[in-house]
């Protein structure tokens, strides 16, 4: 039977419309579906930086519900520890046990309740679970995690790809932070032999008023060992009047000097043109302990460190 062209075109339009409507229906069903998840980024890691200024600082794990519309029912979400997640993360990201990220010891943190409720019809699609951490004594050389997963939800489904989280605990103080490494530009000199100090220096938080750094032009790298850190690092303490005390981190010997006027001082807001900079002025001498138990020659350091601020 011969079909006229107009009828054929109309049939095609109707067929396409039906298919399109069906596709739209499926899409909208997925788009508007309420799914519960834990907020995280790459590898399901969520990083929180804890200040060393407080004995017990608080940060938060965020529980959310996705979908274009608000959830019509209350959602009670309960979490539980998930240590196997950290094992998997380490196996995928590191080659040796010495490199592995660590479980934050249970006596270091407190989660008073592992359950939280997302209220129905709220303008906010998330709720937070407080995580208290005792930061003093945590090392800037270690990566600490609290691995957690969703145990139960009272309503709706869970987004399986975001059902767990590696909650990373990092430390910071007013002078440096661990999460985004803090660098200072250095300038100055060192004796025996005469050495020009230049480039950048990594400064790491230790306590509320203490930071750690390598001496001279020593740098951190992929081959840096714990022994390197212990043998080649100093601790700089910032006192209430912003004067500085330099002490050994490990086996070296350190003595303060007073050869440079205005040194051994921290200036939090040094005006340079139209900008304010945080600056350490250091003047000390050190000698390294050698493998035979004796010490090397004293080396005097006169150094200025200017913090590199993030844009």
Pick out the chain residues at pLDDT < 50. 1-3, 5, 8-30
Strands 157-158 and 35-38, bridge-based pairing: parallel
Give SS3 for 207: strand
The pLDDT value given to residue 272: 77
Taking a C-beta distance cutoff of 8 angstroms, is the pair 298, 287 a contact? yes
User: pLDDT value at position 310?
Assistant: 66
pLDDT of amino acid 68: 63
What's the pLDDT at 32? 63
136-159 confidence digits (pLDDT tens):
999 999 999 999 999 999 999 999
- List of domains in the chain: 35-172 (2.60.40.1740), 182-307 (2.40.128.440)
In contact, 287 and 252? CB cutoff 8 Å: yes
Instruction: Look up the pTM and report it.
Output: 0.85
- 81-96 per-residue burial string, b: 16 or more CB within 10 A, e: under 16: bbeebbeebbeeeeee
Q: Check residue 69 and give its pLDDT.
A: 67
pLDDT given at position 97: 81
Rounded Cα gap, residues 60 and 39, in angstroms: 10
What does the alpha-carbon distance between residue 130 and residue 37 come to, in Å, rounded to a whole number? 17
């Amino acid at each position: 039977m011969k079909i006229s062209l107009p009828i054929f075109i109309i049939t095609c339009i109707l067929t396409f419309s039906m298919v399109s409507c069906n596709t739209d229906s499926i899409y909208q069903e997925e788009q508007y579906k309420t799914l519960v998840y834990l907020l995280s980024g790459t590898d399901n890691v969520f990083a929180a930086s804890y200040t060393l200024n407080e004995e017990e600082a608080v940060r938060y794990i965020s529980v959310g519900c996705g979908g274009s519309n608000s959830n019509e029912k209350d959602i009670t979400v309960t979490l539980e520890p998930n240590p196997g997640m950290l094992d998997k993360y380490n196996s995928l990201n590191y080659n040796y046990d010495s490199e592995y990220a660590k479980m934050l010891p249970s006596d270091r943190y407190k989660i008073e309740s592992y359950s939280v409720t997302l209220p129905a019809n709220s303008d906010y699609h998330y709720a937070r679970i407080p995580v208290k951490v005792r930061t003093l004594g945590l090392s800037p050389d270690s990566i600490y995690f609290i691995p957690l997963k969703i145990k139960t939800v009272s309503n709706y489904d869970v987004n399986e790809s975001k059902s767990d989280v590696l909650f990373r605990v990092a430390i910071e103080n007013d002078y440096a932070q661990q999460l985004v490494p803090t660098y200072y530009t250095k300038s100055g000199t060192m004796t025996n032999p005469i050495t020009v100090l230049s480039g950048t220096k990594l400064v790491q938080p230790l306590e509320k008023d203490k930071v750690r750094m390598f001496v001279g032009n020593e740098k951190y790298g992929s081959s840096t060992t714990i022994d390197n850190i212990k043998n080649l690092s100093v601790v700089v303490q910032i006192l209430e009047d912003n004067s500085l005390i330099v002490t050994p981190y490990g086996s070296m010997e350190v003595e303060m000097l007073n050869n440079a006027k205005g040194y051994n001082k921290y200036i939090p807001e040094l005006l340079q043109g139209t900008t304010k900079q945080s600056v350490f002025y250091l003047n000390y001498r050190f000698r390294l302990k050698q493998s035979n138990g004796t010490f090397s020659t004293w080396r005097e350091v006169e150094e200025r460190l200017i913090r590199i601020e993030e844009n």
